[in-house]
A and B are shown apart, each in its own frame.
Chain A
Amino acid sequence: MAVRPTYDIFIIGGGAVGCAVARELSRYRLSVALAEAAPDVAAGASGRNSAVIHAGFNNRPGSLMAKLCVQGSQGFPALCRELDVPYKITGKLLVAFDQADLATLRRLKDQGDRNGCRGLALLSRDQLRAKLPQVGGIGAMESPCTGVFDPFQYTVALAENAKANGVDFYLSHPVTAIKKGPEVFTITAGVRTFTARRVVNCAGLHSADVSALAGVEGYRIYPCRGEYFILDKTDVLPMPVYPAPKKGAGGLGVHLTPTIHGNLILGPSAEYIDDPEDTASTRPVMDQLFREACQLLPGLERKQIIGAYCGVRPKQAPPGEGGYWDFVIKEETRCPGLINLIGIESPGLTASVPIARMVTEIIGRTMDLVPNPTFDGRRTGIRRFRDRTPAEQAALIAADPDYGEVICRCQTVTKAELRQAIENPLGVKTLAGIKYRAWATTGRCSGGYCLPKIAQMLTEEYGLAPEEVTYRGPGSPLFTGRVK
């Protein structure tokens, strides 16, 4: 096998943080690789969360979480525009149901003000009713700068832009060994062996394991599962509505969040589990989610539910203690050249680019960072048909008749968009990858209508054998073959 040149930087983990690090580093004349265990980016917590741009009032003043979240929040709109990622600054309400909650809200407002969050305001019961009469509770805090976005598209956009600026992506390359030599690290990932001068550990739920592979023990990640329901499209809520957080909980409490795509999601639960890959939904939690959500928004009906999903938080705070330990972002003195990012849970998505800048700054202490003159931070995503004016839609169809063929009826996704999703720059051909990029199959019929059409496109127009059409890569085939 030909000897691969040594990379300057080897990033482990293709979540939002890993991809943001890749993109930030592509601003400089560095050779950068990113290895991801899954067949696509955003396969872990980055793609399984509430999809909220947090303002930054939940975190302790002076913490990295607070500082980087506020920075991230304030830079998010411009970032999303540059990367062509859908987002909306909706504002958010935290609702109190008793006096203790009201005290919590006063504390959070004070904390948020100190963190530099803009525009936080406490609302009386009447002000809450006037703002959102459909919501329960006796008072609230409003955060006008909170927003919602599509975290999958966001991560994909970071990755695509990083790739366009020269980063090499190695998907389906789980890292199994890291050896520190005198000059370089030797990394085994999938069937390949790489050498690199620096290793950036963005492995999320597996960050402690990756650190241990490099010989740096002592970190521990406690997986904490959050279950969600997805409701059919509704305009019942214009902004996320959260309960006042409870002390010691693993998360922010079951909340209601309108998505950028017009659905409503409710969740998450917070349950410490043993297996970081266990994203199964469970009956008791599903029932609990619905009960708690009904407290926030009386009148919810189970028949509005169209789906469920789970994410797992990479928490450092152990069970029993709950709450949040601050992000660890540092070069290990025990292993120079290894930059560890440990415990990047919420608000890691919002903070992803500031985290990446901090990583860049750390690398800059020991490496010369020369600007890459060809760097271009703009990225264009799939040209969407839905939500455009009739004139724009007509122009799209005139330029490409595939825009005139609606494949996904629930989300109005056309064949042209599916083509762009299938031909994505990262080369991902899984159904999940196509789904999250094009947003097909995500609606109320769960792909009952469009899945057969997409499968037909993949097998007849893109030459995949039926067995090669997978949901999430090897081991997850959708079909056993041809019928005959």
Chain B
Amino acid sequence: MERYDVAIIGGGPGGLAAARGAREAGAERVLVLERDGRTGGILNQCIHDGFGLVRYKAMLTGPEYALRARAEADEVGAEVLTGAMVTGLTPERTITAVTRAGLMEVQAGAVVLATGCRERTRGAIAIPGTRPAGVFTAGAAQNLINTKNLMVGRRVVVLGSGDIGLIMARRLTLEGAKVLCVAEMRPAPGGLERNIRQCLYDFDIPLYLQTTVTNILGRKRVEGVELSAVDEAGVPIPGTRRTVDCDTLLLSVGLIPENEIGALAGVELDPVTNGTVTDGFLQTSVPGVFSCGNCRKVMDLADFVTVQGLAAGYNAGAWVQGKDLKPMPAETSNAMAKGLPQPGVLTCVLCPKGCRVTIGPDGTTDGNQCPKGEAYALQEVKAPARVLTTTVKRVDGTLLPVKTSKAVPRENLTEYARRLRNVTVPDAPLSYGAVVLTDPFGVGADVVAAK
């Protein structure tokens, strides 16, 4: 039995931040248990940018953010164990983990649950129809495309306008698939306005509101889906159905806090959201067991998860030592623009805030919260440009996340991504930020490693 002052279950942004927080509170031995072979959690498959604005004042891709989060935990001397799947947790904070080295038991002074969330599935929302290959949750498709080099389909319908669905609509387009539409059951999109703009509008992908999938067709592989308009209550309206030929259905229909491990210790869960119920110090109903991030309440930004992870970790560390706990940071309010982009108004896509910027007759901008927004808006009306995030293949067939060193012309994104599909880079690890290709498109932008 190994003894730790604080053990953290989950090595995504929340867990890594909790490790740092616990050490900062003075906890001696701090351990992060991560089931995957590497830390970072879902960040590793989120090769797009938009991470890090709050925490690092930088625009990072998911893998870049994951590296920084890990470095911050390492820096303060937290121990990290990957390949450790926690299968047991008692109210007395004894943890059982399965590893290739054997079963591991950890007695923790305090525990932080940072187990994240899972995607709602086709089964959970009971979409009628056949059960062919070609129905994926957006996150699973993201994992397959960005980390396993496996392409999920060619003609795609996305159900649900959550951010992952929007991001994947763009991602699939950049990798040569045709995204036929995004259907959203509610009257307003679920994802950030910025993502509607840069993932759908940039690529002319239609968004159908108050529309859902009422049937899946095809015995072996998806051959089509039936779309129907729905009323305010979400009930399909008879006579509105139409069939869309496609080979793939992607689902982005909500995230559910993942708390099967917390439940083993009897942690109280919200009956509606399945999130952990915590007090103002991020402590759950089980003394000494804290919780942060998406397993507590699904958050819009990894940055917010980090902020909460630091606080949960700090309090776990303080609790072990009998020190005073700190009130949790204010719940980050929804400061980010959501909804449909308005005509005549630019949505700044540089960061998740998505400022709504207008340009007056005298050429001055209004609505931007920072000077970058002004530059963005003026560029947007002149010659729209975006940072391209994608992957390139290594010789061994694995994928390296990359991005352009600066924004490139928007109208060429698909063409540039196509050209990068034919590029192979050496297996040798490229250090983060290393130039992979020097100005390959002749627009003054290098392609750099984003991992």
Contact = CB atoms under 8 A, between A and B. Distances in A.
Contacts of A456: 148
Q: How large is the interface on B (under 10, 10 to 19, 20 to 34, 35 or more residues)?
A: 35 or more
Contact of A282 (B101, B128, B144): B128
Nearest to A449: B118
A466 B85 contact: no
Contact of A306 (B98, B102, B121): B121
Given A406-B87, A455-B144, A484-B392, A466 B100 contact: no
A479 B87 contact: no
A467 to B, nearest CB: 10
A213 B380 CA distance: 70
Given A456-B148, A471-B220, A448 B100 contact: no
B150 A404 contact: no
B153 A480 contact: yes
Nearest to A431: B133
Which has the most chain A C-beta neighbours within 10 Å: B133, B236, B391?
A: B133
B243 interface: no
A445 B214 contact: no
A177 interface: no
Interface stretch (B135-143, B345-353, B441-449): B135-143
A62 to B, nearest CB: 40
Interface in B85-130: 85, 87, 96, 98-103, 118-119, 121-124, 126, 128-130
B38 interface: no
Given A405-B83, A448-B139, A483-B150, A280 B128 contact: yes
Given A397-B103, A449-B118, A477 B128 contact: no
A397 B100 CA distance: 7
Interface in A300-327: 302-303, 305-309
Contacts of B175: 483-484
B423 to A, nearest CB: 8
A230 interface: yes
B199 interface: no
Contact of A409 (B35, B397, B399): B35
B393 A484 contact: yes
A308 B98 CA distance: 31
Interface string A434-473: 0000000000111111011001100100000010001111
A286 B128 CA distance: 8
A471 B133 contact: yes
A409 B152 CA distance: 22
Contacts of B395: none
A481 B216 CA distance: 23
Contacts of B216: 280
Given A303-B124, A448-B118, A476 B132 contact: yes
Contacts of B3: none
Nearest to B130: A280
A484 B421 contact: yes
7 contacts: A280-B216, A394-B103, A401-B100, A444-B124, A445-B119, A480-B151, A484-B391
Interface of B: 35, 83, 85, 87, 96, 98-103, 118-119, 121-124, 126, 128-134, 137, 139-140, 143-145, 147-154, 175, 214-216, 219-221, 236, 247, 391-393, 397, 399, 420-422
Given A277-B219, A405-B98, A480-B247, 15 more contacts: A280-B130, A283-B214, A303-B124, A306-B124, A307-B121, A390-B96, A394-B103, A404-B83, A406-B87, A409-B35, A446-B122, A447-B140, A455-B144, A479-B152, A484-B149
The 8 closest A-B pairs by CB, nearest first: A307-B123, A471-B133, A476-B220, A475-B220, A406-B85, A404-B100, A446-B121, A484-B421
